[in-house]
Amino acid sequence: MHSPVRNDIERVLIDEAVIGKRLDSMAADIEHDFPEGRLLVIILLKGALVFAADLLRRVPHLLEIECLNVASYHGGTESSGKVDFLDRHFPEVRGRRVLLLDDILDTGRTLRAVQDRLLTEGAAEVRTGVLLAKDKARAEEVEADYVGFEIEDEFVVGYGLDFMGRYRNLPYIGVLKRSAI
Ligand code: 5GP
Ligand code: MG
């Protein structure tokens, strides 16, 4: 199977069918936990885009969707631990029950910072959901309420997650070949 994207992948960690099955049960958990609906879902761009689109289409509630762009510094600059909010407008969250979705929980800085900001802005409740959570100690004390998969502490791409802006469109979670990095 020739595919310029697929050629850069060393191995598939979680395939499409497995992700789909897991999203079915995450959606069922969300439906169960918010029986009355009325949720405001906040998607962290761009990483959670694919995950959120597939998850939310499985949730039958009346819900509203907002997106936020944040920059969290990683790799070489991980030490700063600073999370910047890049949008000019912050969604109106006062009194709302919020479900915050991100692609992956790593150090925990992003979820911690966004959750704190939502509460500062008056959200009544903030629950969090991630497709992936790395099995490691977090820099910030935070865990997600809904976790798709726990993975080892290695760098993954696909299904919304990028390396240098690429690979978000892979339909599965994979590990890059060294030659692609
Ligand atoms: P945290 O703030 O929890 O350290 O990191 C969250 C963000 O770091 C994620 O939203 C994601 O953008 C990025 N990140 C962390 N680990 C990985 C990874 O293994 N692969 C990719 N592509 N991004 C990651
Ligand atoms: Mg990212």
Which tens digit of pLDDT belongs to each residue from 112-163? 999 999 999 999 999 999 999 999 998 888 899 999 999 999 999 999 999 9
d(CA 13, CA 153): 12
Q: What is the pLDDT of residue 2?
A: 64
Q: How many residues does the chain have?
A: 181
Give Cα 110 distance to the centre of its chain: 10
Tokens matching residue 157: 């791409």
pTM score: 0.94
By CB atoms closer than 10 A (0-12, 13-18, 19+), residue 120 is: exposed
**Shortest-distance atom of ligand 1 to CA 74:** 8
d(CA 92, CA 178): 43
Active site residues: 106
What is the arithmetic mean of pLDDT over 3-9? 84
Query: Any idea what DSSP says for residue 155?
Result: -
C-alpha separations of 126 from 63, 111, 118 in Å: 15, 11, 7
Fold that domain 19-152 belongs to in CATH: Rossmann fold (3.40.50)
Residue whose Cα lies nearest atom 13 of ligand 1: it is: 104
Residue whose Cα lies nearest atom 9 of ligand 1: it is: 104
| 8 A C-beta contact, residue 41 and residue 101 | yes
Burial 35-44 (b: 16+ CB within 10 A, else e): eeeebbbbbb
- Which sequence spans correspond to the domains of the chain? 19-152
Q: Each residue of 72-116: pLDDT tens digit?
A: 866 544 545 688 999 999 999 999 999 999 999 999 999 999 999
Phi, psi values for residue 94, rounded to 5°: -55, 125
pLDDT band of 1, cuts 50, 70, 90: low
Q: What is the pLDDT of residue 37?
A: 76
What is the arithmetic mean of pLDDT over 31-48? 93
Pocket of ligand 1 from Cβ distances under 6 Å: 47, 72, 74, 102-110, 155-157, 161-163
| 8 A C-beta contact, residue 173 and residue 154 | no
